[in-house]
Amino acid sequence: MKRSHQETSVEEEAPSIEGSGCGGGDDNMDELLAVLGYKVRSSDMADVAQKLEQLEMVLSNDIGSSNNALNDTVHYNPSDLSGWAHSMLSELNYYPDLDPTRICDLRPIQDDDECCSSSNSNKRIRLGAWCDSVSSDSTRSVVLIEETGVRLVQALVACAEAVQHENLSLADALVKRVGTLAASQAGAMGKVATYFAEALARRIYRIHPSSAAIDPSFEEILQMNFYDSCPYLKFAHFTANQAILEAVTTSRGVHVIDLGLNQGMQWPALMQALALRPGGPPSFRLTGVGTLSNRDGIQELGWKLAQLAHAIGVEFEFSGLTTERLSDLEPDMFETRPDSETLVVNSVFELHPVLSQPGSIEKLLATVKAVKPSIVTVVEQEANHNGAVFLDRFNEALHYYSSLFDSLEDGVVIPSQDRVMSEIYLGRQILNVVAAEGIDRIERHETLSQWRKRMGSAGFDPVNLGSDAFKQASLLLALSGGGDGYRVEENDGSLMLAWQTKPLIAASAWKLAAELRR
């Protein structure tokens, strides 16, 4: 049951609202403001107005110092107007009707501060995942860059349509045409089209690519190159690390379970940030999950990270876990030390492959829930490449990878050799989305709004990423040597990396839903 909270009343904690149902979460929401990006219940409108008035009065009473007081404020989730206004009032120590001794700290209050006693603390209603028609799964965001290449795109789409309708002889003729047109098309469009044409050809001739076909060390090279030459992985690691750092500010020990260790590129930066923590670093334990074929690599990586930890003065422990499938993980495979460590589960692009087997994602998320992490960081591609209809997947992927390739084209500093490697890295994804099926189709990207529903159903609540993470991610992008077109966007507590106006990567953070935290 949802009730609005008044500052004066002491109420029991409201049950958290699951993100799964669109209708349930939207009760009483002011529709006009919702379209403009603000979630305010009609029944809360007067209360929100009052908060804004109070803020106005507090700020105008002494313009000089009050502005300074809010200069370093970290803002969270501007869509939640009530929460936003409330946070600022707290920051200014303005509690007209509250007992000030109840408030434990001056950070913007998030749901369920651990430091306050559960029955008397100031709870705000959690509005949960926001379902709306504007950012629903059926949004097709298109950025047109070149007006040339129309014939090429037409041929590609026509070919995909022929494949969809199983008119393989027509498809065959068209794919050859695409190949010809692509060869004479300059720039990103030509390259993207070449990969899509190859993928279509494989589909037509039923040469389904196997996801296990690639040599792991080549895979490693591709990924590292991709990491270096464009900001996508850097953004993913950076925002996940920001969320982790914020969750462990007072921890004496941190244990990260990384669901996809790969080359461990995310962890040096986190360790360095921990090392610099005022008051000294926590101990840092990393459990890296990888595949069997990578077993030696994992151990070596652990050793290298240990050397780094030693050099920077961070107490460090490492264990490697190998599994062919993340859904095979069981809670008892992880040694957790809840009394001395804050547990983090981290997944950067590791969840979507699990969707290739029915039931697996639910099992994995149940395992994650069972180890009782304080925070779960999730970064995924912002696209729906997992629709049931081939043609829809094709069109989505065409838009998505066109934007990605275009962003690579724009980079001032990327040597062409590195760009080629990045394109190969992405090209393999394209092949998989278009030509693979069943268990082999692992690039089953889904949008943030889809992931929100899954996480909500699995028993997780969102943790908002704030304006400081936003700002630093923006600065990181500016320094990454890529083009001018990268943007960070805030979306209802999550952060997205966009190329121009097209979101490409979404980073979110999660914690166990309220009733599970006790």
Name the residue nearer to other proteins (CB basis): 484 or 515: 484
Report the residue from 72, 147, 296, 339 that binds other proteins according to the rule CB under 8 A: 147
Q: Which helix (H) or strand (E) holds 189?
A: helix 187-204
The set of residues, in sequence order, having a beta carbon less than 8 Å from that of 396 and lying 6+ positions away, is: 140, 383, 384, 385, 387
Report the residue from 21, 37, 179, 387 that binds other proteins according to the rule CB under 8 A: 37
Q: Any alpha helices (H) in 371-447, and if so which ranges?
A: 390-410, 416-435
Q: Taking phi first (over 0 means left), then psi (-120 to 50 degrees means alpha), and beta for anything else, what does residue 113 get? A: beta
CA dist., res. 244 & res. 342, Å (int) = 10
Q: Does 242 bind other proteins (CB under 8 A)?
A: no
What would the x/- binding string for other proteins be over residues 85 to 124, using CB under 8 A? x---------------------------------------
Per the structure block, which two tokens stand in for 424?
Answer: 């190969």
Name the residue nearer to other proteins (CB basis): 113 or 409: 409
Q: Which of 517, 501, 494 is nearest to 239 (CA)?
A: 494
Q: Which helix (H) or strand (E) holds 258?
A: strand 253-258
Report the residue from 425, 503, 504, 510 that binds other proteins according to the rule CB under 8 A: 503
Name the residue nearer to other proteins (CB basis): 225 or 381: 381
Report the residue from 22, 69, 70, 312 that binds other proteins according to the rule CB under 8 A: 70
Q: Which of 373, 361, 272, 288 is nearest to 325 (CA)?
A: 361
Residue range at the interface with other proteins (CB under 8 A); choices 13-21, 40-48, 190-198, 309-317? 40-48
Contact, 421 vs 225, CB < 8 A? yes
Residues 406-445 that bind other proteins (CB under 8 A): 410
Residue range at the interface with other proteins (CB under 8 A); choices 95-103, 338-346, 392-400, 415-423? 392-400
Per the structure block, which two tokens stand in for 116?
Answer: 């306050």
Residue range at the interface with other proteins (CB under 8 A); choices 67-75, 213-221, 258-266, 300-308? 67-75
Alpha-carbon Rg for the chain, nearest whole angstrom, is 24
Q: Does 22 bind other proteins (CB under 8 A)?
A: no
Report the residue from 105, 330, 332, 484 that binds other proteins according to the rule CB under 8 A: 484
Q: Which helix (H) or strand (E) holds 415?
A: none
Strands 253-258 and 502-512 turn out to be unpaired
**CA 69 to chain centroid:** 31
Report the residue from 250, 252, 501, 516 that binds other proteins according to the rule CB under 8 A: 501
Binding site residues, other proteins, CB under 8 A: 30, 32-33, 35-38, 40, 42, 45-46, 48-49, 52-53, 55-57, 59-61, 67, 70, 75, 78-79, 81, 85, 133-135, 138-145, 147, 150, 153-154, 157, 395, 398-399, 410, 467, 470-471, 474-475, 484-485, 487-490, 500-503
